[in-house]
A and B are shown apart, each in its own frame.
Chain A
Amino acid sequence: MENANTARALASSSARGQRAENGRAGEEYQKALKAHHLKRKAWLVLIHAALIAWVLVSVYPLLRIFSVSLRPGDRIVSTDLSLIPAGASFLSYWKVLYETNFLFWLWNSLIITCATATIGVSLAALAGYAFSRFKFPGHKTGLTLLLGNEMIPAAMLLLPLFLMIMKLGLVNTYLGMIIAYSVTSLPFSIWILKGYYDTIPKSLEEAALVDGTTRFGAFLRIILPLSTPALAIAFLFNFTQAWNEYLVARVVLTDARMYTWTLGLFELQGQYLTQWGMFAAASILVTLPVLGVFLYSSKWLISGLTLGGVKG
């Protein structure tokens, strides 16, 4: 009986000890966990602070221009730091839209840019496919030349490009601009698309060929739908390049009615007086189409569409 009691007492005391031990270990674990969480939080705060600072630096100029566009008169320099200045009005916007050829310029830019992007991407999509899938004489040389072409500064291409366009009688035409633009951005698009096609397994096209398509059919039905992220990137690249281009436009377009907005904007800059308010307003307005295109195409940029079709 006594033995049993002793055993029970021993057992209960050892259980208490165990619990205490467990408690201690638990506390330590909790402490470590807390420290870990704190560390994580500190990191997050740090990263976010850096990101916010970066955003401020990036957005500040835009906000300044917005602020200038709202100022009455044409003051670019001001001691006023407020975003919305005293006496703010949309007068500059109204003036840009109705007292200048701004809408004309925008229209010209839009036509040239959309045509450039569409033609450029279509050509690059086909050329990239050829470079990705076929072996032909000049395959490697072609790719190297395309890359080399990218390294020539735009200013160097200016004269030959102008001479060519002049000889073709395409000065002051949309077509001249479209050719000049799509040709210059083609190499980059081809490289991007070729690189993307290379990641798409050949067996997908082969399956389509066996299923009953032609080579071109397989390209249209299988490869193109799978390449939307790369196509979107190439399109955006072409679009922004053509939209913001100034140098070539300056040389090829001499008729004020054919001006793109980049040329037009400088019309507002007189020799003695620059209409900074209108300049700023126009600058804000021209970002809107690009912004729209970017927002719209962001849904096509989701990559990883090819996942799961073949063994990953």
Chain B
Amino acid sequence: MASVTLRGITKRYKDTEVLHDVSLDIADREFMILVGPSGCGKSTLLRMVAGLEEISEGEIVIDGKIVNHLPPRDREIAMVFQDYALYPHMSVEENMSFGLRLRKLPKDEIARRVGEAANILQIKPLLKRTPRQISGGQRQRVAIGRAIVRKPKVFLFDEPLSNLDAKLREEMRIEIAKLHQRLHTTIVYVTHDQVEAMTLGSRIAVVNVGRIQQAGTPEEVFCRPANLFVAGFIGSPTMNFIDGTLLDEGDGPRFKNEVMSVRIPLPLDAQAPRAPEGGKPRSVVLGIRPDDIYAKPPEPADGPDLIPAVIEVVELLGHRKNLHLKAGETKLLATVDAAFAGKPGEKVSVWFNASRVHLFDKDAQERISLEGRRFPR
């Protein structure tokens, strides 16, 4: 059991800096997810914690001890690799006991721990086989087993599920969640899959271009994305982004562009201008998740807050429908109830759930609305 602290971590390869001054506190027993697109530096960060990658600048602290110069074997960590990295010339049992044998544990203790892990992961019948003789999902279980038996202070997972097919991935995801509940150990888990990030993590750190964009609980990251990148990366289908300006015409802040004028009932942070005051109005980006857009057939009595749009494509997902809409030049994706009867080419009136609107500064790309919607609904 241990906490992990990253302080000002920088990584350079010759002249290219891939991680810039990254700091993160991972509490004891926390399930921390590092999520981001490929090449963002999340795996490098994990490998630095493991000791497989040198640290150019900064400090990594595991359980109160600076480990910068400790080799991997002295960091009391265990790692599960994306490609499993099972030793092909050893049986499953030998693979799992390898670390324990190196530490010269008594034989009966090794047998007990391997048996225990095999029970948890349901791989007891496979112990005598070699990695070549078992399936991908089973190999991943063995790789996890090899980590468990070591009883490390911190588990590191490097995209462990990305090589499995969709169904198996879902199964293993649940297994890993159960495992965390059972072992109650600190886990640092790298993934590019935002579903894994949302479902597994007690906290998520969204990484992009070598920086942590936001770290918080899945709810925080989903409901109050700190910037445009996080807003676009977390959530599926992705958030709609609409360019416009922020104005105050007497009835509170309004988001305006050529097709819409949306009242923003949210408190804005101090920097957000409530009125142009003679100067140019502030350029902003409005973010709205497809679930928070509503549509209905147009009526003559529709007020100015409704946005006229045309249905371009309808995708039936089962209990929901994706509506691809076009309002002026703006494309919108709305997810509505499957009972919605609109067809491609038909006109609709669209409105947003105003309490779930996100506002971002167009230049700084940072969030300007202080409070987002509360979660869950």
Which residues of A does B touch, CB under 8 Å?
A: 201, 203-204, 206-214, 217, 222, 225-226, 305-311
The 5 listed contacts between A and B (C-beta, < 8 Å) are A206-B79, A206-B81, A208-B98, A210-B50, A222-B87
From B29-37, B70-78, B215-223, B342-350, give the one contacting chain A: B70-78
Q: B103 an interface residue at 8 Å Cβ cutoff? A: yes
**Contact between B72 and A204, CB atoms less than 8 A apart:** no
- With A206-B81, A213-B73 as contacts: A309 and B86 at CB distance below 8 Å: yes
Contact pick for B81, options A203, A306, A307, CB 8 Å: A203
- With A307-B132, A311-B136 as contacts: A210 and B87 at CB distance below 8 Å: no
Q: B130 an interface residue at 8 Å Cβ cutoff? A: yes
Kindly list chain B residues whose C-beta atoms are within 8 Å of the C-beta of A213.
73, 102
Q: Which residue of B lies closest to A204 (CB)?
A: B85
Kindly list chain A residues whose C-beta atoms are within 8 Å of the C-beta of B73.
209-214
Q: Which residue of B lies closest to A304 (CB)?
A: B132
Contact pick for A206, options B85, B133, B139, CB 8 Å: B85
**Contact between B85 and A207, CB atoms less than 8 A apart:** yes
Q: B99 an interface residue at 8 Å Cβ cutoff? A: yes
Smallest distance from the beta carbon of A222 to chain B beta carbons, Å? 6
Contact pick for B83, options A222, A307, A310, CB 8 Å: A310
The distance in angstroms between the C-alpha atoms of A306 and B86, with both chains bound, is 10
Number of interface residues of B (CB under 8 A): 31
Q: Which residue of A lies closest to B104 (CB)?
A: A212
The distance in angstroms between the C-alpha atoms of A5 and B85, with both chains bound, is 74
**Contact between A308 and B99, CB atoms less than 8 A apart:** no
Kindly list chain B residues whose C-beta atoms are within 8 Å of the C-beta of A214.
71, 73
Smallest distance from the beta carbon of B212 to chain A beta carbons, Å? 24
Smallest distance from the beta carbon of A229 to chain B beta carbons, Å? 12
Q: B338 an interface residue at 8 Å Cβ cutoff? A: no
Smallest distance from the beta carbon of A144 to chain B beta carbons, Å? 22
Smallest distance from the beta carbon of A307 to chain B beta carbons, Å? 5
The distance in angstroms between the C-alpha atoms of A214 and B72, with both chains bound, is 9
Q: B84 an interface residue at 8 Å Cβ cutoff? A: yes
Kindly list chain A residues whose C-beta atoms are within 8 Å of the C-beta of B77.
210
Q: B304 an interface residue at 8 Å Cβ cutoff? A: no
**Contact between A308 and B163, CB atoms less than 8 A apart:** no
Smallest distance from the beta carbon of A32 to chain B beta carbons, Å? 38
Smallest distance from the beta carbon of A81 to chain B beta carbons, Å? 52
Q: B376 an interface residue at 8 Å Cβ cutoff? A: no
Contact pick for B89, options A207, A226, A310, CB 8 Å: A226
Kindly list chain A residues whose C-beta atoms are within 8 Å of the C-beta of B256.
none
The distance in angstroms between the C-alpha atoms of A61 and B78, with both chains bound, is 61
The distance in angstroms between the C-alpha atoms of A225 and B130, with both chains bound, is 15
Q: B131 an interface residue at 8 Å Cβ cutoff? A: yes
